[in-house]
Amino acid sequence: MWTFSIRDHVGWMLLLLAALLTAGCVMPSMGPPPPRADVLVPDARFGGSAADVLGHPDLAPKVRALFGADWEAAATARGGTAVRAGEFFGKAAPPRRLGIDGRQYVAVMGCAPAVCRTHRGLLLIQADGEQLRARLDEAGYTHYYAFGLGAVVDPPTRALLDAAWTALGGGG
């Protein structure tokens, strides 16, 4: 016959508590570390201004496909932006060239003129124009986009965009 004293219960409870606390302290990885992003000399292959890049004949349809319904209209009901994506580039810096993990990109950084402090955007175009990615920061919420053959929004894509964002002075 088994008999338990209070001391036995306290020991088991402490052991269980220690196991739970240890398990609770293990944090899952938030994804890959951000790649190194270097700002290089300016590149005008798609134009000398953000408007030129967004309207470039080879890129304009891809930019619209990248953002989908968010390009022309706010789409908060389905998880999209409250401001149309095109407005995030209403006031933009000239295109910049970036080197990230051995690849070349053309980047356009901009903001929505009426709410420039809280609504900022980054369009990142692979130098051959085939892969486009974007990050839109909307008053504390970040939207990520990817377009091109095999392009997905996954942790490496977010890390790539975040590294470009930081290199261009967009913050963290």
Domains and CATH numbers, the chain: 37-167 (3.40.1420.10)
- Tell which wins on pLDDT, 34 or 63: 63
**Contact (CB, 8 A) for 94 and 48:** yes
pLDDT value of position 37 = 93
Mean pLDDT value across residues 30-38: 81
What DSSP assignment string belongs to 59-87? THHHHHHHHGGGTTS--GGGT--SS-GGG
Work out the pLDDT band at 42, boundaries 50, 70, 90: confident
Residue for token digits 């486009």?
132
pLDDT value of position 110 = 95
Q: Looking at the predicted structure, is the pLDDT value of residue 20 above 50?
A: no
Work out the pLDDT band at 41, boundaries 50, 70, 90: confident
- Tell which wins on pLDDT, 9 or 112: 112
Residues of the chain with pLDDT > 70: what percent?
76
pLDDT value of position 1 = 52
- If you average pLDDT over every residue of the chain, what do you get? 83
Helices (H), 4-151: 6-25, 50-55, 60-67
Q: Looking at the predicted structure, is the pLDDT value of residue 82 above 50?
A: yes
Largest CA distance in the chain: 87
pLDDT value of position 44 = 85
Pairwise CA distance, residues 83 & 86, whole Å: 8
pLDDT value of position 69 = 85
Work out the pLDDT band at 81, boundaries 50, 70, 90: confident
Q: Looking at the predicted structure, is the pLDDT value of residue 119 above 90?
A: yes
> 3-class DSSP state for residue 143?
strand
